[in-house]
Chains A and B, each alone.
Chain A
Amino acid sequence: MRRHPRREYRRIDFCQAWPDILQLRAEWLGHGLSTAGADRPAAEEAIARLYALLGQPPPEFVWIASPGAVGTVLEPSTVLLRSDGQWPLESQLASIVSVLRQRFDAYLTHREKAVVGGGVRKALGESVRTAVAQRIQAELTTGHGLYWYGQQDADWVAYYQVFQRISGVPFALADVEQLELWAAIARSCGWWWPREDRCVIAERPLAIKTESVGDQLRLHDDSGPAVVYPDGWSVHCWHGTHVPDWVIANPTVEAIAAETNIEVRRCAIEKLGWPGYIQQAGLRLLGQAPDPGNPGGNLRLYEDRPGENRILLAVNGSVERDGTRRRYGLRVPPWFSDPVDAAGWSYGLTGAQYSRLLRRT
């Protein structure tokens, strides 16, 4: 027997409703990436009503310009549970929202969860929660206890709104009202830290720079921060990878050599460009050979660090918009000393097989 008997109602055809669902998703993507100033009255009212659901009076609201400023108004977190068994307010809030979602889920079939979960929750989750909120989080070095992403909680709010608004699932009125409070917060402010007698709320960013990858978005800006807040606190990203600001602003061979995080190193080299990196770092040339099938293109094999992967510098077969042919670096195993063998390996071929390549575009 099921713990939550599924309530029956007339289930809609998702194919017919899909345009409406996509429109709702687009609206929430807009909220998740909004760079408008916070709607302070709306955020404060919705949060005060959540406090009321916990039997608490409205808190004092403390606005900060960015999540990076939270340390100026909150102590680093230490304990979550108190010895007297009374949960702190933020834990109670986490509990009621978890229960809310369980009650909504009890109405939904596996198919509904799969279709809307993939098309709305997961899609928004990847483009907003993972790609943006978690990159911003990576910039924070100290934990300040439980908090919510505000605008970047768009994914789960949109998911349940699809069922409530488009499918017409007869959720309990009190639950719908609570969902509307979470939706109001997601429409009106950035991150927020609810505490017993006060609530810290961050402004939304001034700019969020993204690039599209298929249907998803990721943070990227190759000339400055990908996210900037009104107080100047910022987050730098290279094609979705969170990096220190020097990677974008001033990637030098010295800084790359000193960097221990290999992913950051990779981004910095890509930003600097492989040919520039190889030249400035003075990498040792192990060998070079004409690229078969690619007239005028040379394969050059370099040693990066002794014992580590080697770098094969190759030339594209087709021209760029500016008429040049792009050079690109490939990491190849350290046992290759012949550039043709290394190029063959990159396609699972021997050097002898690769040397029979007739044409490259």
Chain B
Amino acid sequence: MKLAELLNWSGLDVLDHLEREVTVPVVDGIQAQGDLIVIPLSLLGAVDTWGRDYWLPVPADGVELVRGEGGNNPHTLVADTGTCRWSTNFRDRTGLGVAVFENTEPAYLVHPEHGGSGVAPGSWLVRRQQERGVGLRGNVVVCD
């Protein structure tokens, strides 16, 4: 799918300088979108998920995995209805996980500054990025 088609399909928008005729590849493996990273659950031993009932379907207008706060833009997960479900009921020992999702068809992450990322069918963990805080603040989450 091209970025223009993805935007048309999802109803989302990106900054107008991004090339819209470029194809958004569907990737089966680790990929990063700015301060977010999508990791196959099979790669990680340390993530527990539980509570089958807590899975939520990804609705037609998508899910904001990271809200557009703190002066940054949202990362939105979109997929065809009925092909993707997501949950925040998991334990990620790094504390960086924001959501897990499972998709049976390609799902897409869309961000106004980074464009689109296609995710192949599978089970995935979405993490944020961290850096060392200044002073005594420990590690802090990066906002781009």
Pairwise interchain contact A348-B30, C-beta atoms closer than 8 A: no
Among B29, B34, B92, B131, which residue has its beta carbon within 8 angstroms of that of A361?
Answer: B34
Pairwise interchain contact A333-B132, C-beta atoms closer than 8 A: yes
* Binding site secondary structure of chain B: loop
Pairwise interchain contact A357-B43, C-beta atoms closer than 8 A: no
The segment from A82-90, A105-113, A176-184, A208-216 found at the interface with B is A208-216
Among B31, B71, B111, which residue has its beta carbon within 8 angstroms of that of A358?
Answer: B31
Pairwise interchain contact A361-B30, C-beta atoms closer than 8 A: no
The segment from A5-13, A126-134, A190-198, A317-325 found at the interface with B is A317-325
Of B30, B116, B127, chain A has the most CB atoms within 10 Å of the CB of: B30
The interface size bin for chain A is 35 or more
Verify if A332 is at the interface (C-beta below 8 Å from B). yes
Verify if A15 is at the interface (C-beta below 8 Å from B). no
Pairwise interchain contact A358-B29, C-beta atoms closer than 8 A: yes
Pairwise interchain contact A318-B113, C-beta atoms closer than 8 A: yes
Number of A-B contacts (CB under 8 A): 104
Give bound CA distance, A24 to B37, whole Å: 42
Pairwise interchain contact A361-B27, C-beta atoms closer than 8 A: no
Pairwise interchain contact B96-A348, C-beta atoms closer than 8 A: yes
Flag A315-347 by CB within 8 Å of B: 1 or 0 each.
011111101000010111100000000000111
How distant is B29 from chain A, measured CB to nearest CB, in Å? Answer: 4
How distant is A34 from chain B, measured CB to nearest CB, in Å? Answer: 24
Q: Which of chain A's residues 64-86 have a Cβ closer than 8 Å to chain B?
A: none
26 contacts between A and B (CB under 8 A): A214-B69, A262-B135, A263-B134, A316-B144, A317-B33, A317-B114, A318-B18, A318-B115, A319-B17, A321-B15, A330-B129, A330-B131, A347-B96, A347-B127, A347-B129, A348-B92, A348-B95, A353-B39, A353-B43, A356-B43, A357-B30, A358-B28, A361-B34, A361-B111, A361-B114, A361-B117
User: Which of B's residues lie within 8 Å of A, judged by CB?
Assistant: 15, 17-18, 25, 27-34, 37, 39, 43, 67-71, 92, 94-96, 111, 113-117, 127, 129-135, 142, 144
